Structure 1
Amino acid sequence: MKKRTYITLFLWAAALLSGCTGDEEIVGGQSSLLTVAVTAADFSSDEGMATRTTDIGYSTTFAAGDRIGIFAIADDGIILDNNIPYTYSGTQWNPVDTDNTIHHYNYAGVTYYAYYPYSASMDDASGEQTIIDKFTPKQDQSDKADYTASDLMTGTGEVADADTDSPKLTLTLKHKMSVIVVDIKSNSYVTTGGYEYFEPIACSSIDIGGTDILQNNLAFVSSVGVYRYIVPPGSTPYSVSVSYNAGEINKEYSYSTTVKQTSAGKYHLIKLHREEAATQRDLKVGDFYYQDGSILPGDSTFYNLASNPCIGIVFKVGAGKWDSDPNRYDGKLLAVHGYVLSLDQANKSWGDNSKSWNGTSWYEYQGYVYTKNLLAGMAEGKSFPACSWCVEHTPVPTGMTSGWHFPSLNPVLDFVDNAATLNTFLSRIPGSTTISGTYISGTESGYNTTTHCNGRVTGNTGSVYRYAKTEAHLIRAMLTF
């Protein structure tokens, strides 16, 4: 099934741009707003299979800050509107420069087309093919921004209701590059709610066309075990070889194939799954969480992988209090499945007490939001040692997570009060530290939000304590997944 993203642009109609001779009579635009809808198609399989998020791990969506370029060209080749940039606010598209907008031309013989991502180098492009010919995917696509910047889409548009006060331009964008997808999975599980997770693997090499995109950190990892790399379409064959280790015995697996031809708008899936059917199993407190977002059930024999280590344990399953909305995580999450606690801890002070920083809410899972507030304070020159340690904690998670942050009070209460259970799992992980002592949170105390923070002493369930922000106490980093 193709998923489409609908975006609405509100464009001011205006007088025609220069470029027409004095002999040309072109009727100008409307005095009303011009509405433009853009649809963006997903990649489809080169084997005719329906696109599934679980197969390729990334659907076609726009993010705030993305830019497209729009052209209007007359049949005689005159460029009426030349590569007009529009930027996405997160809800709608707006002209980058309000004095430089696309126009509605109320006469026959005008072709509208658009492309993504915007580039000033595309000025004066005479059509879609010109843009395609000028475009080259980035070599390093490991960052999502660089991956999407390599994902060229173009499309033409048509104006409806041209004779009304509300003409509508509809643009349809399609992928013009191809993408090779390598999907590697070990044993898989699915929860009652349909969340699928996988045991860890350690991929050592993914070679595409003679370049190891894994060792050179060129591939975009869109989800656990899914590596994507955009290539230009054409008849050039791409050899693909993969090596990885999996399971308690750390067995090495290898596979080689050739993608004989790549096609625009198609993904070429190399699917290496240890088993086809997922086992029904809900997440549990104590499950082992690995760097790439894979999860080993806590009732399994623990094992570590050098290039994909266990970085924490699940200390709460499901959304914490008032934390069911993934939108608060700045687009990093599609849903909240649970929370992970770091394997080690530090003794740090809360820090700067010159004012209240986080808008205290005692019993919410607000650590991610509080951490953002403290980071903004650091940008002003303030010092927050506990928060800094949490944010900079390593190993850095590479899966779909919030990233490490400073816990607010409620998660601290949860992991401290459940210390006995969590410690049984922590003790199975070499080098980890069990939970014991006094822990502070990112939540400021209602007693005095400027000078004090809240925390709890291990074993004193039910008692919330306040501590001076300048005092050093134990902290642990957490992440949401």
Structure 2
Amino acid sequence: MNMMICILKRLSVGVVMMVITIACSHEEEYVCEQMTQALSFRIADTGYQEEGKNLHSRAIDTDYQTRFSTGDACGLYVVTDNGVVGNNIKLLAERDAASGSVTWKSDVLLSVKWKDAVFFLYYPYQEDMKGKVADASLAAESDEAFFAPLIADWKPQDNQSTYAAYTASDLMTARGTVSATMSGEQQVSFSLKHRMALAVVELPVTTYRFTNYTDIPDYSASMPVSFSGNQKMYALTDGTLRLLVRPEEEDAPVLEGLCDDGMKKFSINTANITSGLYKTFKVDGGRKIQDYTLQMSDVLAHLGNHSWYVIPYEAYTDAPDKGNAIGVVIKVGRHNGDCSDYTQPLAAGGPLLSASTFHGYAAALNDLSAEQIEWGPSTVGLPNYPVDAQGNPQNNYNNETYKQDWSGYAYTQAIIKQAGGQEQLLVYPAVYRAVTAFENKYPAPVNTSGWFLPSIGQLWNVYSHTGVLGVVQNELSTFGHYWSSSVHYYQTECILTIRIQNSLGDVYGKYPTDIGLVRPVLAF
């Protein structure tokens, strides 16, 4: 019986297949009986550990682990007594979108005895590995010995500014261990070790932590910092930069630059960091945590996934993400004069405010159009004013009683209903502009109420913040009327407006066929 060892090219689905034994008998021709067993791979990153900490601790800082995703590739070597029988086999990662699990695939079918083989792995994959592995006789020692030529010649890129460039410089190696899974398949597990060292630069950042609403994401505001030299670091959203360097080298990059509006110089020497460890360098004190409460004048901003966050007003001037701003906070918490039912969306499938926490109200940053438009038909026929427990109308016009009229969402719903649905809103131009036209151009985050025409109390708070709106984007017009969704409690044929003359505003009643401007609001 002849034993055959070969490497065959074949597409493998989900796993790399290993042929355990091939038995052949010679008669008129060779007849081979193949006994195959699936071989799968489990590849994990042990992560960088902080320099100076207990290196024997089992705790792992997940922020310093590579999370493999579709398209990542490792190089596999298989060594037996006969030498290297699997040479730089490419393993490609595929991440399952539903489960988040990663499987590794190859187009190579290995034919070796697994119990006699030693497996070595490195990352990231290199097409040309000529002269970059040691003699197979070192297989019994370690992956560090086997990949010694690769490690010795590895040079991190100067430009690591993108995640792809950063990970392309992050050399890792491992020796595999073989075990049987519960399903009976053979699995090779690798715990990759980082062979480079990591310099972490902590920029001068103030992180605002919202104490009155802990579900609001922290916001980090960084001080502008400039670097000289060729090194370009990978920037993270937490205000830190990362640079991979060769370990324990005297001639490592020195990072120099200016901060505090160019008034302070700094210099960071990245020499002599041990492989697999990271060392943190703080520029001008690094990160500071500041407890902060959500307050009026803060800026509501949206993320690409349509959720929202808050930029503290004091950090807005230098904020790099000003383009994400959608509104200014005009009230924190729910007003006790707001009788709206926010569990019902303004339109089917539209934004809907989460029932868990009511954070406040925000005014839009512009009027959408400077064109003044009618409110709606001459016959109003809507009880859009506060009422007492018996249903009697309550003053919402004079003696500052208008400041308690905060049910703009409910009033907007009533107008939509009277129009016959959102598709018929053109008969109410002011509400159409606030709800439909504004939403089409500036979509509200999904976990908000969506844009609506404010009540007179809400509109007064918008007017009170016109200076802040001007800083963020566009203040209210210095002349003209702004429509509310409130009807005069006594003269029910009139709609309440904010009349502005020479930047001074007051509450005024207008017929719905007159003209005015629109500034929407939303609840979040």
TM-score by length of 2: 0.52
Superposition deviation, residue 221 in structure 1: 0.8
Residues 171/422 of structure 1: CA separation in 2 closer, same or farther (3 Å cut): farther
- For the residues of structure 2 that align with 1:128 and 1:102, how far apart are their CA atoms? 21
Q: CA offsets per residue over residues 29-52 of structure 1, 9 Å max, x none?
A: 96332232222111112233799x
Q: Which structure 2 residues correspond to residues 1-40 of structure 1 after superposition, within 5 A?
A: 11-15=15-19, 31-40=36-45
Residues 36/294 of structure 1: CA separation in 2 closer, same or farther (3 Å cut): same
Moved more, 148-157 or 120-129: 120-129
- For the residues of structure 1 that align with 2:242 and 2:318, how far apart are their CA atoms? 25
Q: Which structure 2 residues correspond to residues 146-165 of structure 1 after superposition, within 5 A?
A: 146-161=165-180, 165=184
- For the residues of structure 2 that align with 1:322 and 1:123, how far apart are their CA atoms? 60
1:190 and 2:209 correspond: yes
Residues 294/166 of structure 1: CA separation in 2 closer, same or farther (3 Å cut): closer
Alignment: residue pair count:
346
Q: Return the match for 1:111 from 118, 133, 137.
A: 118
- For the residues of structure 2 that align with 1:176 and 1:475, how far apart are their CA atoms? 58
What residue in structure 2 maps to residue 95 of structure 1? 105
Q: Return the match for 1:199 from 221, 229, 237.
A: 221
Superposition deviation, residue 89 in structure 1: 2.4
Residues 129/279 of structure 1: CA separation in 2 closer, same or farther (3 Å cut): same
Superposition deviation, residue 416 in structure 1: 6.5
Residues 48/11 of structure 1: CA separation in 2 closer, same or farther (3 Å cut): same
Q: CA offsets per residue over residues 425-462 of structure 1, 9 Å max, x none?
A: 773554712589xxxxxxxxxxxxxxxxxxxx98449x
Q: Return the match for 2:191 from 162, 172, 187.
A: 172
Question: Does the 8 Å CA contact 2:252/2:269 hold for their aligned counterparts?
Answer: yes
What residue in structure 1 maps to residue 265 of structure 2? 254
- For the residues of structure 2 that align with 1:412 and 1:239, how far apart are their CA atoms? 51
Q: Unpaired segments of 5 or more residues in structure 2?
A: 1-12, 23-32, 134-145, 334-350, 370-436, 487-517
Q: Which structure 2 residues correspond to residues 450-465 of structure 1 after superposition, within 5 A?
A: 459-460=484-485
1:44 and 2:49 correspond: yes
Q: Which structure 2 residues correspond to residues 53-452 of structure 1 after superposition, within 5 A?
A: 59-90=65-96, 91-97=101-107, 100-101=108-109, 105-108=113-116, 110-122=117-129, 125-126=132-133, 127-133=146-152, 135-161=154-180, 165-192=184-211, 193=214, 195-205=217-227, 207=228, 211=229, 213=231, 218-235=232-249, 236-245=251-260, 252-272=263-283, 274=285, 278-283=289-294, 286-288=297-299, 297-298=312-313, 300=314, 303-304=317-318, 308=320, 310-313=322-325, 315=327, 321=352, 407=444, 411=448, 413-414=450-451, 424=465, 427=468, 430=471, 432-434=473-475
Moved more, 140-149 or 271-280: 271-280
- For the residues of structure 2 that align with 1:70 and 1:284, how far apart are their CA atoms? 56
The aligned amino acid for 2:473 is S
- For the residues of structure 2 that align with 1:63 and 1:153, how far apart are their CA atoms? 16
Superposition deviation, residue 406 in structure 1: 5.2
The aligned amino acid for 2:275 is A
- For the residues of structure 2 that align with 1:413 and 1:82, how far apart are their CA atoms? 55
The aligned amino acid for 1:146 is A
- For the residues of structure 1 that align with 2:63 and 2:114, how far apart are their CA atoms? 43
The aligned amino acid for 2:174 is G
- For the residues of structure 1 that align with 2:114 and 2:53, how far apart are their CA atoms? 41
Moved more, 218-227 or 168-177: 218-227
Question: Does the 8 Å CA contact 1:70/1:81 hold for their aligned counterparts?
Answer: yes
Q: CA offsets per residue over residues 220-257 of structure 1, 9 Å max, x none?
A: 11124211122222412432324223xxxx68433224
Identity of aligned residues (%): 18
Question: Does the 8 Å CA contact 1:128/1:155 hold for their aligned counterparts?
Answer: no
Superposition deviation, residue 294 in structure 1: 11
* CA RMSD across the alignment: 5.3
Question: Does the 8 Å CA contact 2:18/2:39 hold for their aligned counterparts?
Answer: no
What residue in structure 2 maps to residue 447 of structure 1? none
Residues 274/133 of structure 1: CA separation in 2 closer, same or farther (3 Å cut): closer
Q: Secondary structure at the match of 1:121?
A: coil
Q: Secondary structure at the match of 1:120?
A: coil
Question: Does the 8 Å CA contact 2:158/2:230 hold for their aligned counterparts?
Answer: no
Q: Secondary structure at the match of 1:72?
A: strand
Question: Does the 8 Å CA contact 1:37/1:170 hold for their aligned counterparts?
Answer: yes
- For the residues of structure 1 that align with 2:460 and 2:34, how far apart are their CA atoms? 72
- For the residues of structure 1 that align with 2:299 and 2:191, how far apart are their CA atoms? 44
Question: Does the 8 Å CA contact 1:11/1:102 hold for their aligned counterparts?
Answer: no
Larger radius of gyration: 2
Residues 166/406 of structure 1: CA separation in 2 closer, same or farther (3 Å cut): same
Q: CA offsets per residue over residues 139-183 of structure 1, 9 Å max, x none?
A: 322222222222221111011239994222111111112222111
